[in-house]
């Protein structure tokens, strides 16, 4: 297997482009199921998860075409067209590799009247049931059946009527599935306590561009007036706020000075506040965000929370940064119960982190040391890279398939900033 090798201690400086958001792109791609006209998505990141979702869409008979681009370009353009859907089954072999595959359930149900999807896979960061996906689709009028590891959703004759649903807890994925199903309902649907992450706003904006009627975009109360059909559109994927936050942590831990081209502060205010609390300078610029760190980092106390709170997807990266803070930080993970698997690996590098249930206490240290470390999930792998950039000596990060799911050409971007980093092929 490939590994990333980092020689730490290099100060990061320069400008790098922020890629299109992985979490948004994986939600926008299944919108192609909602129309027989072409859907063109610009600024798609080059990621393993995007390739996997493209293969899943091909499984349904959807044509996909990627526009030619120059090697130095990061984003790409894909046009999808579901003129005729030839299958309504998302098989285990494709779905098991990527949890986002469950997002075909709502749009396929709305367009075809039925959908059969294998129970999903993805990162092993905790229990992530799909019960709310199924309950909200039932509220919109679907009949749900489960057998042999598959979910089958069936709409009544004449299509989904629509309905009302109040989420007992905020669920990004279930909100996304509900939105894509509701836009083609025969009546009006209302969603209460809906997720309001920037990726949800991006999805709503695309659906509106395709002819959907949605009220309350950006709030926790959404009203969707169903329409008979949607049309094609061309749409730009939002910048990746998690990638931007990750590179901000990388710059800060090395005492660097970096401009994140294309990053939007309004998408990541909680991350920006956490960085500022830690003593990092973060300023919006006309072309993105400027990040700089001088002197000692300060400890931080915070909890992860749904947007607009601090994103769980930034917890591991911030933890790596706080390993170098002067004092003890306290992080509480409220979203997933098994998201501290990176802690033993960071401790192998000389960090001093204790975990007590869902709380981690990070005692800052003067020096981190390079080591052989193993990535356990997507964001954990980035935390090890961040630590490696500041460590003395050489760090080798294994299991890069996690990293490749969410960070586009990471070693190339970090090298642009002066990092001594390379990818080495496995035996």
DSSP string, 66-111: E----TT---EEEEEE-SS----EE-HHHHTT-GGGGGGHHHHHHH
Q: Residues spanned by CATH 3.65.10.10 within the chain?
A: 3-19+239-424, 22-236
Q: Tell me whether residue 164 is annotated as binding.
A: no
Give the chain's mean pLDDT.
Answer: 93
For residue 322, report the phi and psi dihedrals to the nearest 5 degrees: -70, -10
- Average pLDDT of span 23-36: 97
pLDDT of res. 58: 94
Q: Tell me whether residue 16 is annotated as binding.
A: no
- Average pLDDT of span 28-50: 95
Q: Tell me whether residue 58 is annotated as binding.
A: no
Q: Tell me whether residue 128 is annotated as binding.
A: yes
Q: Tell me whether residue 97 is annotated as binding.
A: no
What tens digit of pLDDT does each residue of 111-137 get?
999 999 988 654 443 444 788 999 999
What tokens were used for 79? 């046009």
User: What amino acid positions are annotated as catalytic residues?
Assistant: 123
Does 212 score more than 80 pLDDT?
Answer: yes
In the chain, the percentage of residues whose pLDDT exceeds 90 is 81
pLDDT of res. 405: 86
With left for phi above 0 and alpha for psi between -120 and 50, is residue 149 left, alpha or beta? Answer: left
The whole-angstrom separation of Cα 80 and Cα 58 is: 9
Q: Tell me whether residue 261 is annotated as binding.
A: no
What tokens were used for 238? 């939002």
pLDDT of res. 86: 92
What tens digit of pLDDT does each residue of 87-105 get?
988 888 877 767 778 999 9
Give exposure, 6-33, as e/b (b: 16+ Cβ within 10 Å): bbbebebbeebbbbbbbbbbbbbbbbbb
Helix (H, G, I), strand (E, B) or coil at 383: helix
The answer for residues whose C-beta is within 8 angstroms of residue 290's C-beta and 6 or more apart is: 257, 258, 259, 260, 281, 282, 283, 284
Is 3.65.10.10 the CATH number for 3-19+239-424?
A: yes
Q: Are 33 and 80 in contact (CB under 8 A)?
A: no
Does 422 score more than 80 pLDDT?
Answer: yes
pLDDT of res. 98: 73
Domain covering 22-236 in this structure, CATH number: 3.65.10.10
- Average pLDDT of span 238-264: 97
Adjacent-strand bridge partners of 5: 396, 422
Does 286 score more than 80 pLDDT?
Answer: yes
∠ CA 6-9-13, rounded to 5°: 95
- Give the chain's length: 427
Break the chain down into helix, strand, coil percent, rounded to 5.
35, 25, 40
In the chain, the percentage of residues whose pLDDT exceeds 70 is 95
- Kindly indicate the confidence band of residue 328, based on its pLDDT and cuts at 50, 70 and 90: very high
pLDDT of res. 48: 86
Does 245 score more than 90 pLDDT?
Answer: yes
Does 30 score more than 60 pLDDT?
Answer: yes
Stated as kind and residue range, the H or E segment containing 382 is: helix 378-390
pLDDT of res. 122: 43
The whole-angstrom separation of Cα 366 and Cα 350 is: 9
Q: Tell me whether residue 313 is annotated as binding.
A: yes
Q: Are 20 and 238 in contact (CB under 8 A)?
A: yes
- Average pLDDT of span 247-268: 97
Residue among 24, 420, 55 at smallest CA distance from 205: 24
pLDDT of res. 125: 34
The whole-angstrom separation of Cα 19 and Cα 50 is: 13
Q: Lowest mean pLDDT of 97-106, 184-193, 298-307, 392-401, name the range.
A: 97-106
């Amino acid at each position: 297997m490939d590994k990333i090798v980092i020689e730490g201690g290099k100060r990061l400086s320069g400008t790098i482009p922020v890629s299109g958001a992985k979490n948004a792109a994986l939600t926008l791609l299944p919108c192609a199921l909602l129309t027989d006209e072409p859907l063109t998505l610009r600024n798609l990141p080059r990621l393993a998860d995007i390739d996997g979702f493209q293969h899943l869409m091909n499984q349904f008979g959807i044509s996909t075409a990627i526009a030619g681009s120059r090697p130095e370009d990061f984003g790409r353009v894909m046009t999808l067209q579901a003129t005729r859907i030839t299958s309504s089954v998302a098989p285990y072999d494709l779905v098991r590799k990527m949890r986002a595959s469950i997002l075909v359930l709502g749009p396929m149900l709305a367009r075809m009247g039925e959908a059969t999807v294998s129970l999903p896979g993805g990162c092993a960061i905790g229990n992530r049931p799909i019960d709310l996906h199924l309950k909200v689709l039932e509220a919109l009028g679907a009949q749900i059946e489960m057998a042999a590891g598959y979910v089958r959703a069936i709409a009544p004759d004449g299509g989904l009527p629509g309905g009302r649903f109040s989420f007992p807890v905020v669920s990004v994925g279930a909100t996304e599935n509900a939105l894509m199903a509701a836009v083609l309902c025969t009546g009006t649907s209302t969603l209460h306590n809906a997720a309001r992450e920037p990726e949800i706003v991006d999805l709503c904006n695309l659906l509106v561009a395709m002819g959907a009627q949605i009220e309350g975009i950006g709030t926790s109360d959404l009203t969707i007036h169903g329409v008979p059909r949607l049309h094609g559109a061309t749409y730009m994927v939002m910048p990746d706020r998690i990638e931007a936050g990750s590179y901000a942590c990388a710059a800060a831990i090395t005492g660097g000075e970096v401009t994140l081209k294309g990053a939007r502060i309004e998408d990541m205010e909680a991350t920006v506040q956490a960085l500022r609390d830690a003593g990092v300078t973060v300023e919006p610029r006309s072309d993105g965000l400027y990040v700089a760190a001088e002197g000692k980092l300060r400890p931080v106390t915070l909890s992860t929370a749904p947007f607009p709170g601090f994103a769980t997807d930034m917890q591991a990266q911030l933890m790596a940064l706080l390993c170098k803070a002067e004092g003890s930080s306290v992080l509480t993970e409220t979203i997933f119960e098994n998201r501290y698997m990176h802690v033993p690996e960071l401790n192998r590098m000389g960090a001093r982190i204790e975990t007590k249930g869902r709380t981690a206490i990070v005692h800052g240290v003067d020096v981190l040391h390079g080591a052989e470390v193993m990535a356990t999930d997507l964001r954990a792998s980035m935390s090890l890279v961040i630590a490696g950039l500041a460590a003395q000596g050489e760090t080798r990060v294994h299991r890069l398939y996690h990293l490749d799911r969410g960070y586009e050409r990471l070693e190339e971007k970090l090298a642009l900033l002066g990092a001594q980093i390379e990818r080495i092929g496995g035996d």
